[in-house]
Structure 1
């Protein structure tokens, strides 16, 4: 039988005992060197620690900002107090009753009023956004890794993922699809409440025709008949803009008429 390469015999060592003794001495020498290195390392650590006062161990480490600012070509770039005060007057705290997407929209409106030569919108937004946060939202921002954010797109995305999680989106989308008109509620009041539900979840991804259908079916028989007549029986043949404009006009007209009667 042909012997495989891996099973070839090693050459015979005529002084195998001497070779084994040498290998043992080499192993002992290697272990002694490793032990000496560990002792030196421990001594160095103790020496370094001895030069540090005990109170210094209790001093917290100051972390840098989570934002790594882009290079700014403008000389002497400095944000003025006014835009900072505008941002701080509308801070987001991270509470359930607050809307993170509305906060972003309002923040961008403020930022659009700030223009500087050779300074990009990204720089202005990155500089100002931390001042728009308080309480839980500020704590979240401070917990981000140092220099982990380099663009406004990255910061806004992280912010919305944290404060507009999928569970909240599902709950708000459910409020739209299961919308119900309250007893005694006028067309105007129901329509305003429905629009507010949509506004709270702008990324609902529901089809326009479904939105109109949900609202129409939520109405009581009397209001549904009024809308049906106003649309000449073809509400579902209209596109979203046409149908919502029709309902908007009806709601505003009845609201104004009721206000006139109450005077």
Structure 2
């Protein structure tokens, strides 16, 4: 499903891979393609004039040229370095903001991601103390430990 977060050309490539057995049937490709579109792209598709597209190639070119401006540019690592838990903010809210930024980062920096999440927590936070005693060695461990502390935080409210 195209959600605007990947390059539209990449989406077309994935679509073509899924439809490879039907690659010679242009009419079918044109009819099925809209089912791979999210709401924003579907609005674009619905706005196309009747008979304004003559081939699947033309459809995908129009899709790519129109929606390339909507795709997100991956953020550099320094965006994660600027995040910290705000006063009065819950762990859930902080971790939600953090993972949203994490998913937009460019590159594989898991060890730095683990450290920046920890450093963003207040020094007195139990989760930060937990990471000091026993550091997480993978993003999966980090997420599991955060979820454990979020459940505790929810139980206390």
Specify the alignment match of 2:22 in structure 1: 119
Question: In the alignment, which of 93, 105, 120 is matched to residue 218 of structure 1?
Answer: 120
Shift of 1:151: 8.7
Q: CA-atom RMSD, angstroms?
A: 4.6
* 1:77-156 to 2 correspondences below 5 Å: 99-101=3-5, 119-120=22-23, 126-130=30-34, 132=37, 133-135=41-43, 137-138=44-45, 150=57
- Give the TM-score normalised by the residue count of structure 2: 0.57
Q: Give the length in aligned residue pairs.
A: 142
How far did residue 184 of structure 1 move?
2.1
TM-score for both structures, normalised by structure 1: 0.39
Q: Which has the higher mean CA deviation after the structures are superposed, 149-158 or 216-225?
A: 149-158
Match of 2:131 among 227, 232, 243: 227
Partner of 1:207: 109
| Residue 83 of structure 2 corresponds to residue 176 of structure 1 | no
Higher RCO, 1 or 2 (CA under 8 Å, sep at least 6)?
2
Cα deviation 1:83-114 (Å, max 9, x = unaligned): xxxx8xxxx8xxxxxx502797xx99xx7xx9
| Structure 2 residue 73 is matched with structure 1 residue 163 | no
- Kindly indicate whether residue 138 of structure 2 is the aligned counterpart of residue 259 of structure 1: no
Q: Is the 8 A contact 1:149 1:155 kept in 2?
A: no
Gaps of 5+ in 1: 1-86, 93-98
CA contact 1:176–1:197 (8 Å) conserved in 2: yes
2-structure distance, mates of 1:129, 1:156: 10
The alpha-carbon distance between structure 1 residues 245 and 161, as it changes in their structure 2 partners (threshold 3 A), is same
Which whole-Å deviations, capped at 9, do the CAs of 1:68-92 have from their partners, x for residues lacking one? xxxxxxxxxxxxxxxxxxx8xxxx8
The separation in 1 between residues aligned to 2:102 and 2:48, in whole angstroms, is 28
Larger radius of gyration: 1
Cα distance in structure 1, aligned partners of 2:113 and 2:133: 19
- Provide the C-alpha distance between the structure 2 equivalents of 1:178 and 1:147, rounded to a whole number of angstroms: 48
Task: Indicate yes or no: 2:89 matched with 1:194.
Answer: no
